[in-house]
Structure 1
């Protein structure tokens, strides 16, 4: 059945995602520290495919919310696990590779939107669509299991220490949160922007161009960091986000929006991979727990972004609501500077 939600109602449904993700925080960190990272990665990903199918078969608001909660909860489990695997694997290399891992994730998003476009054009039901995606994901999960790293459990730093936030992790978390608001909001609203503001019939163009440039940027980000350094890469990312959003909302035409969304995708791409890589160097927490904490900020931002845009769009209009992305991008500059000042202080101590 079609729910026919308005912008505010859709935003409320999407709010179930950060709740499920936050519920997964203590569990994901505990699982990674107790069973290494590949066990929760495989189990979490398998359950995630079931939750996806459940979303497609939901026929009332209650089952839809439950399905969305389960989907975000299991996404949290495998998200922490796979990033812990990536940090552990990077230790075997003499160069940074975290950005490339996230580039493959973005590439998956591109294939996802292309596949979804085909399903829409062919009139395939959402139930059949999600079952096909889940089946492919399960096959890949089983195939990948034997290739995952073993015995990556850290001996210390596996518990969250309550009290005053660690500035090292806190600054990284805020940076990830700001970037994730842009990323999550663009995931869910870029297509709607093309549909409602630009009146484009094939509205998936907005999401597709965003994801394409995000993937390209992530594959290039490791090389960019090697040339200009992480502090300047954060500033470059912020500049691209602000410039891209300004183009899209000030001159709302097809090509300016395409260029603008390209810049936003390019700008947001490197922020979270850099933050995860830096979190893995924490002296207070193990890589798995540090990534889990940073992911709390990033996933919360990624999943709060869509409902926030929905509420603002309902109160004002969609163009006005996209100003939030520009503000978040701008704030990346001072917060990242505070992080590197603090990092330098720790290194000098």
Structure 2
């Protein structure tokens, strides 16, 4: 289970460097075509060590594709001269729903993982063959005089901390929302996943309107509002731990966390100090740490006290997003 996130984390500096040197198009093509092949390796792994190796490579290629395709998105934004990053991330959310749905069908039909992954890899290869030609040939905001390795400036550090706080909340929701409805709300077994479902629907849906809101109100106001929505949702669920109020709280949390990462990535891609790939890698690293440590921290606090206090701490992370966004140079 650790192989995938370790591979993803270790690929961050390599991905940023390669994008800066070779351009995001090259990295997208390389990682996008190998990604489904490694998925096949996972499905057909015959032992523990081969599975560990495949998961490690899957994590590396996934994050490599993440940084390079977000760099492409920064270029598309520059061409449109307005924010559209959140919409791209909305498509990622839809793909998550599609992947979960297809997986459920495969499990219900008793189709082996190897066969399932072979079908997915084939479909992905066909899509890539028709779409690669539309990738931008050159990245925006690149300058050969910009250093490849340099410490991120204050603005990138602030963006990274904002991403850390928001992704800590997001990661905790992925792993603990069902537990919250089970242990705190005490719903029937069939309803344990309802909170997570509402959260995901809210997060995905909001991403498709976030860019219009940024265009109208500005990046800073939307980030501040996102933090306040996140905090409100958690505190509502903690203070009124009932089925209806917690569902509403989880829906509000989805609104809050939906736009933070794409908007932070968009802002980082416009860095005047570092190239887009390096800047995205720097911010992505801090955000990824939040995503990794969020679930275990919630578990530790819940074990020492209770789960409601853990969720209250996540509400404080939402307030931190709002505070940093209001005072930082975003």
* TM-score for the superposition, normalised by structure 2: 0.86
Change (3 A) 1:121 1:306: farther
CA distance in structure 2 between the aligned counterparts of 1:236 and 1:75, rounded to whole angstroms: 30
When structure 1 is superposed on structure 2, of 289-298 and 117-126 the one drifting more is 117-126
**In structure 2, distance between residues paired with 1:123 and 1:254:** 34
Question: Does residue 255 in structure 1 map to residue 244 in structure 2?
Answer: yes
1:109 deviates by: 1.8
Deviation larger for 196-205 or 146-155: 196-205
User: How far did 1:18 drift?
Assistant: 4.1
1:79 matched to which residue of 2?
66
The answer on 1:160 being equivalent to 2:160 is: no
Judging changes above 3 Å, is the alpha-carbon distance between structure 1 residues 246 and 133 closer, same or farther for their aligned structure 2 residues? Answer: farther
Size of the aligned set, in residue pairs, is 326
Show the counterpart of 2:205: 216
Of the three residues 75, 92, 112, the one matched with 2:79 is: 92
User: Which of 200, 208, 221 is equivalent to 1:232?
Assistant: 221
Q: Which residue of 1 aligns with 2:124?
A: 137
Note if contact 2:225-2:322 (Cα within 8 Å) is conserved in structure 1: no
Task: Look up the match of 2:264.
Answer: 275
What is the SS of the residue equivalent to 1:95? coil
From 156, 160, 174, the counterpart of 1:173:
160
Whether the 8 Å CA contact 1:100–1:222 is kept in 2: the answer is yes
Which residue of structure 1 aligns with residue 310 of structure 2? 321
Matched, 1:45 2:32: yes
Distance 1:63 1:193, change over 3 A: farther
The equivalent position to 1:303 in structure 2, one of 289, 292, 299, is: 292
* Between 48-57 and 30-39, the greater mean CA deviation after superposition: 48-57
Q: 1:266 aligns with which of 228, 248, 255?
A: 255
Does structure 2 retain, via aligned residues, the 8 Å contact 1:194–1:200? no
Give unpaired runs (5+ residues) of structure 1: 1-12, 344-349
Cα distance, 1:61 vs. partner? 5.8
Distance 1:45 1:251, change over 3 A: farther
Using the TM superposition, name which of 234-243 and 313-322 deviates more: 313-322
For the 8 Å contact 1:246–1:326, the answer to whether it is kept is yes
Give the CA deviation at 1:246. 2.3
Instruction: Tell me how far apart the structure 1 counterparts of residues 265 and 74 of structure 2 sit (CA, whole Å).
Output: 8
Structure 2 residue ranges without an equivalent (≥5): none
Q: Which moved more, 1:225-234 or 1:213-222?
A: 225-234
The answer to whether the 8 Å contact 1:90/1:97 transfers is yes
How many angstroms apart in 1 are the aligned matches of 2:4 and 2:312?
A: 23
Change (3 A) 1:321 1:141: farther
User: 1:138-181 deviations in whole A, cap 9, x for unaligned?
Assistant: 3322332111111227233351214xx51011111101111111
SS for the counterpart of 1:91 is helix
Q: CA separation of 1:255/1:63 partners in 2, compared to 1, >3 Å: closer, same or farther?
A: farther
Structure 1 residues 140 and 250 mapped into 2: Cα distance closer, same or farther (>3 Å)?
Answer: farther
Using a 3 Å threshold, how does the CA distance of structure 1 residues 124 and 244 change in structure 2: closer, same or farther?
Answer: farther
Residues in 2 aligned to 1:118 and 1:221: alpha-carbon distance in whole angstroms: 32
Alignment partner of 1:284: what SS? Answer: coil
Cα gap change, 1:287 to 1:128, in 2 (>3 Å): same
Alpha carbons 2:20, 2:276 under 8 Å: kept: no
TM-score by length of 1: 0.82
Query: Is 1:190 matched with 2:177?
Result: yes
